[in-house]
Amino acid sequence: MEFKQVTLGAKKSIALIAHDNKKQDMVDWCQEHKAELVNHKLYATGTTGMLIEKEAGLQITKLISGPLGGDQQVGSLISEGTVDVLIFFWDPFEPMPHDPDVKALLRIAAVWNIPIACNHSSADFLIASPLFNSASLRDVPDYAAYLAKRSVSF
């Protein structure tokens, strides 16, 4: 796979996802970092988005619930270049019926080389980075070059 560099703007699009046992931790984190998050475009799945909006007072673009396809919605937004950062507080102790969806989402985030935080501590490191509020470069798959090499004539 070939890669190309794209500019990640100073204003990020951030997806916020939290499993049931981590939703309050996500709300607390958003309240703690409201001053930074308000400068970015926020997306969240289902109940997580409603809770953040209600309790943290942040404007959220709400997607459907994770188990109903919200994880795939976020994955799609990542692959089309809309979501720049994934903050996903997942519960390693609670088996989820949609675990394959979660694995697929994390795979897409890794493929498209976006920053990922999976708990409160890693999210703190991410938001404290000087890159969080500034432009930066990142390598992404060059899908056009990939397709050009595999084009088939009929």
Catalytic residue among 20, 28, 71, 101: 71
- Nearest in space to 82 (alpha carbons), one of 14, 139, 10: 14
Query: Catalytic annotation on 99?
Result: no
Q: Which residues neighbour 114 within 8 Å (Cβ) at sequence distance 6 or greater?
A: 78, 83, 84, 85, 86, 138
Q: How far apart, in Å, are the Cα atoms of 95 and each of 91, 104, 108?
A: 8, 16, 21
- How large is the greatest C-alpha to C-alpha distance in the chain, in angstroms? 58
Q: Which residues neighbour 57 within 8 Å (Cβ) at sequence distance 6 or greater?
A: 34
Cα separation, 45 vs 144, in Å, equals 30
Which of the residues are catalytic? 71
